[in-house]
């Protein structure tokens, strides 16, 4: 098997807007990240992934870039960035940048030119089509509600936007577009960054015929993203990117790939693919999603589904490609509220259980800010407390325009799935606004910050923080955690997630009780000789698993 530093690394994701404000404007900034590098280092991670920090009008919090070679005013200056990069490296950490090149902001200079006239050189940088009978060119729905097409009178055409109408999709079939993108990537690499997380990178190649989306059959809340996923030239363009950029630098790369199967992932990241190193797959994030309502549901998840999906990715990529391991990011609800139990009694236990269950798998783990202290979902009472454009658009669509659900139902779904669950400010201490800002935070702090915060976590040797720190240490110590083969035990067990890892005659047994019941599983007694590496309880109770108990044994 190939062995590379990024396979042995752990990545910590920072959402700069919500991490630490240092100038009192209520918005996190680059100086705020510098301030907490010792904290991140203490957790024992290797790489920091930053959500987009480029100039942006922030229609979608930086995923709408107006200038790829500048820093967002609210976050600081290029001098701050240079200082951040230097300080990250001084800490022995690496920096992974977000790369958003499926689309740009409509305020990007390219788009401003593009809409001037069909003869403008930049017009073809985007995906324009004539209307059909005075309507949009096809039936595609944007990911954030409504048609995926926007009409522009000055050119009498529609442009495609898979996300908001301020996020215009680039035309990757134009080689000038590709070269502009490769240039800006090389420009950042020459500054010394260490990697890219590539936003929705499997959507870059669209079928130029733009056929209607046959899957839209009267769903209440539809999306046509799959129509653009894994398109005709995507592998050709990524191989070109590899040749022009990635192969010239020693980088960690991960592509966000909604709708990618394991077979797709092997094409993108196979050890000899010359494309990417990892993908962020979404199948396991679909276990509590509705076929007709998307994430606007309160459907519970089944552990057997989660196990089946995780296990398929573990076994099908084994030896061929490399998994990313994640429960959380800036688009997902907090995992302790989602797959664990955020009631006071069980929050820390289940947060640790989820950490052990995921981090003992094969792949590179990603930790999202606050996950390491067991931060929870927030239940803001009113829609006006929310900021996320996806949430606001969906509320308008489903409650106000279509009357598909009531305000009360929708707020319940929002409490479960809104992206703002992940975006409330980092909880540093029990001072006003959780120590995030001395001003008014851009989004309210989760009121539970008086209990759940970094200061408390650092003061308590049994905290979720130190459990994650230990997971990171174990990964450095035992190569079986990084490289071992994976084998699921009892796929139909609805309460406990158990698996083996195997490497060179060694074994790991990982058992995780996903319930608040005390259960018995005899495999624990039959495992063979060895010792326990980590557990979220103080003592080993043999074959008895207490609520949310999770253990890893090393067997020689
Ligand atoms: C990705 C990002 C998400 C963003 C979208 C459009 O899914 O993670 O935050 O809204 O792409 O760029
Ligand atoms: Ca600030």
- Dist. CA 327 → ligand 2 center (Å): 28
CA torsion through residues 238, 239, 245, 247, sign:
positive
Give the whole-angstrom CA distance, residue 254 versus residue 207: 24
Distances (CA, A) of 162 to 93, 222, 286, 415, 486: 34, 12, 20, 25, 37
Q: Band the pLDDT of 1: cuts 50, 70, 90.
A: low
250 pLDDT exceeds 60?
yes
CA torsion through residues 14, 16, 21, 27, sign:
negative
Give the whole-angstrom CA distance, residue 388 versus residue 406: 19
CA torsion through residues 71, 76, 82, 88, sign:
negative
Closest CA to 50 of 28, 24, 67: 28
pLDDT of residue 155: 98
Mutate to test the pocket of ligand 1, among 49, 163, 197, 198 (most ligand atoms within 8 A of CB): 163
Radius of gyration of the chain (CA): 23
Domain presence at residue 488: yes
Condensed to tens digits (0 to 9), the pLDDT of residues 510-520 reads 999 999 999 99
The stretch 206-233 carries a mean pLDDT of: 91
351 pLDDT exceeds 90?
yes
Whether 149 and 137 have beta carbons less than 8 Å apart is answered as: yes
pLDDT of residue 342: 98
Nearest CA, atom 4, ligand 1:
63
Residue corresponding to tokens 């976590």: 457
Q: Band the pLDDT of 535: cuts 50, 70, 90.
A: very high
Nearest atom in ligand 1 to the alpha carbon of residue 419 is: 9
Domain presence at residue 64: no
- % pLDDT > 90, the chain: 97
Give the whole-angstrom CA distance, residue 423 versus residue 15: 8
Nearest CA, atom 2, ligand 1:
199
Structure tokens of 286? 């679909």
Q: Band the pLDDT of 246: cuts 50, 70, 90.
A: very high
- The 3 state secondary structure assigned to 347-384 is HHHHHHHHHHHHHCCCCEEEEECCHHHCCCCCCCCCHH
Nearest CA, atom 5, ligand 1:
63
Domain presence at residue 146: yes
pLDDT of residue 2: 67
pLDDT of residue 226: 92
Give the whole-angstrom CA distance, residue 193 versus residue 187: 10
- Ligand that comes closest to the CA of residue 24: 2
End-to-end alpha carbon distance in the chain: 22
**408 Cβ contact list (under 8 Å, min separation 6):** none
Nearest atom in ligand 1 to the alpha carbon of residue 390 is: 10
Give the whole-angstrom CA distance, residue 236 versus residue 238: 6
- % pLDDT > 70, the chain: 99
What is the rounded average pLDDT for all residues in the chain? Answer: 97
Q: Band the pLDDT of 472: cuts 50, 70, 90.
A: very high
220 pLDDT exceeds 80?
no
pLDDT of residue 138: 96
Quick one: how far is CA 153 from the chain centroid? 36
Condensed to tens digits (0 to 9), the pLDDT of residues 112-156 reads 999 999 999 999 999 999 999 999 999 999 999 999 999 999 999
Give the whole-angstrom CA distance, residue 334 versus residue 320: 31
Domain presence at residue 386: yes
Nearest CA, atom 9, ligand 1:
331
Nearest atom in ligand 1 to the alpha carbon of residue 389 is: 10
Q: Band the pLDDT of 222: cuts 50, 70, 90.
A: confident
Give the whole-angstrom CA distance, residue 38 versus residue 459: 16
The number of folded domains in the chain is 3
Quick one: how far is CA 2 from the chain centroid? 25
Condensed to tens digits (0 to 9), the pLDDT of residues 21-57 reads 999 999 999 999 999 999 999 999 999 999 999 999 9
pLDDT of residue 217: 77
Tell me, yes or no, if 199 is annotated catalytic.
yes
| Burial (0-12, 13-18, 19+ Cβ within 10 Å), 488 | middle
290 pLDDT exceeds 70?
yes
Domain presence at residue 164: yes
Give the whole-angstrom CA distance, residue 482 versus residue 362: 6
Containing structural domain, residue 144: 109-169
Whether 172 and 73 have beta carbons less than 8 Å apart is answered as: no
The stretch 442-446 carries a mean pLDDT of: 98
**Pocket-forming residues, ligand 1, beta carbon under 6 Å:** 60, 63, 100, 163, 199-200, 256, 330-331
Closest CA to 23 of 85, 70, 75: 75
- 3-class SS of residue 135: strand
- Dist. CA 112 → ligand 2 center (Å): 28
Strand 485-489 and strand 496-503: the pairing is antiparallel
Closest CA to 3 of 271, 265, 255, 266: 271
Domain presence at residue 137: yes
Domain presence at residue 157: yes
Nearest atom in ligand 1 to the alpha carbon of residue 144 is: 10
Structure tokens of 17? 């807007």
Q: Which CATH number is 530's domain given? A: 2.60.40.1180
Give the whole-angstrom CA distance, residue 451 versus residue 457: 9
Whether 371 and 338 have beta carbons less than 8 Å apart is answered as: no
Residue corresponding to tokens 């070269």: 179
The stretch 361-388 carries a mean pLDDT of: 98
The stretch 274-285 carries a mean pLDDT of: 98
Name which of 123-127, 211-215, 338-342 the model is least confident about: 211-215
- Ligand that comes closest to the CA of residue 75: 2
Angle between helices 175-191 and 234-244 (to 10 degrees): 40
Q: Band the pLDDT of 221: cuts 50, 70, 90.
A: confident
Q: Which CATH number is 120's domain given? A: 3.90.400.10
Domain presence at residue 269: no
The stretch 390-414 carries a mean pLDDT of: 97
- 3-class SS of residue 109: helix
Tell me, yes or no, if 176 is annotated catalytic.
no
pLDDT of residue 456: 98
Q: Band the pLDDT of 259: cuts 50, 70, 90.
A: very high
Q: Which of 120, 151, 169 is the last residue of a domain?
A: 169
206 pLDDT exceeds 70?
yes
Structure tokens of 386? 């929310």
Give the whole-angstrom CA distance, residue 306 versus residue 21: 37
Residue corresponding to tokens 């062995």: 3
**135 Cβ contact list (under 8 Å, min separation 6):** none
Q: Which of 121, 139, 169 is the last residue of a domain?
A: 169
Which is catalytic among the residues 256, 264, 288, 388? 256
């Amino acid at each position: 098997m190939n062995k590379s530093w990024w396979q042995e690394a752990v990545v910590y994701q920072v959402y700069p807007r919500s991490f630490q404000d240092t100038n009192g404007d209520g918005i996190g900034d680059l100086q705020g990240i510098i301030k907490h590098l010792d904290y991140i280092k203490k957790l024992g991670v290797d790489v920091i992934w930053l959500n987009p920090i480029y100039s942006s009008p922030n229609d979608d919090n930086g995923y709408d870039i107006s200038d790829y070679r500048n820093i967002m005013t609210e976050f600081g200056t290029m001098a701050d960035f240079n200082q951040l990069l230097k300080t990250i490296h001084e800490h022995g950490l690496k920096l992974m940048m977000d790369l958003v090149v499926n689309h740009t902001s409509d305020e990007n200079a390219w788009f401003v030119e593009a809409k001037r006239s069909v003869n403008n050189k930049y017009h073809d940088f985007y995906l324009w089509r004539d209307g059909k009978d005075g309507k949009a060119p096809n039936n595609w729905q944007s990911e954030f509600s409504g048609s995926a097409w926007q009409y522009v009178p000055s050119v009498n055409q529609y442009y495609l936007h898979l996300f908001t109408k301020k996020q215009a999709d680039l035309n990757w079939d134009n080689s000038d577009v590709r070269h502009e993108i490769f240039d800006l990537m090389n420009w950042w690499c020459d500054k010394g960054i260490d990697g890219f997380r590539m936003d929705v990178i499997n959507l870059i190649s669209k079928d130029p015929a733009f056929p209607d989306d046959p899957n839209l059959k009267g769903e209440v809340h539809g999306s046509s993203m799959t129509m653009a996923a894994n398109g005709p030239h995507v592998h050709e363009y990524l191989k070109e990117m590899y040749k022009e950029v990635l192969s010239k630098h020693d980088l960690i790369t991960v592509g966000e790939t909604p709708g990618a199967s394991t077979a797709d992932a092997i094409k993108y990241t196979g050890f000899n693919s010359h494309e990417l190193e990892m993908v962020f797959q979404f199948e396991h994030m679909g276990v509590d999603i509705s076929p007709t309502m998307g994430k606007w549901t309160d459907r519970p998840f089944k552990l057997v589904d989660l196990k089946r999906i995780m296990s398929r990715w573990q076994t099908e990529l084994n030896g061929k490609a490399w998994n990313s391991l994640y429960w959380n990011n800036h688009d997902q609800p907090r995992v302790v509220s989602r797959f664990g139990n955020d009631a006071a009694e069980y929050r820390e236990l289940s947060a640790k259980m989820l950490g052990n269950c995921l981090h003992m798998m094969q792949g590179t783990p990603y930790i999202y800010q606050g996950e390491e202290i067991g931060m929870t979902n927030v239940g803001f009472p009113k829609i006006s407390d929310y900021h996320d454009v996806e949430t606001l658009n969906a509320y308008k669509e489903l409650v106000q325009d279509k009357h598909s659900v009531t305000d009360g139902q929708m707020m319940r779904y929002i409490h479960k799935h809104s992206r703002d669950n992940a975006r409330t400010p980092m909880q540093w201490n029990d001072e006003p606004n959780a120590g995030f800002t001395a001003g008014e935070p851009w989004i309210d702090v989760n009121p539970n910050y008086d209990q759940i915060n970094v200061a408390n976590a650092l003061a308590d040797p049994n905290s979720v923080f130190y459990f994650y720190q230990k997971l990171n240490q174990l990964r450095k110590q035992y190569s079986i955690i990084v490289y071992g083969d994976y084998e699921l035990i009892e796929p139909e067990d609805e309460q406990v997630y158990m698996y083996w890892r195997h490497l060179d005659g060694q074994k790991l047994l990982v058992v995780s009780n996903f319930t608040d019941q005390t259960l018995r599983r005899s495999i624990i007694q039959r495992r063979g000789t060895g010792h326990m590496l980590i557990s979220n309880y103080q003592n080993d109770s043999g074959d008895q698993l207490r609520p949310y108990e999770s253990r890893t044994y090393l067997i020689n």
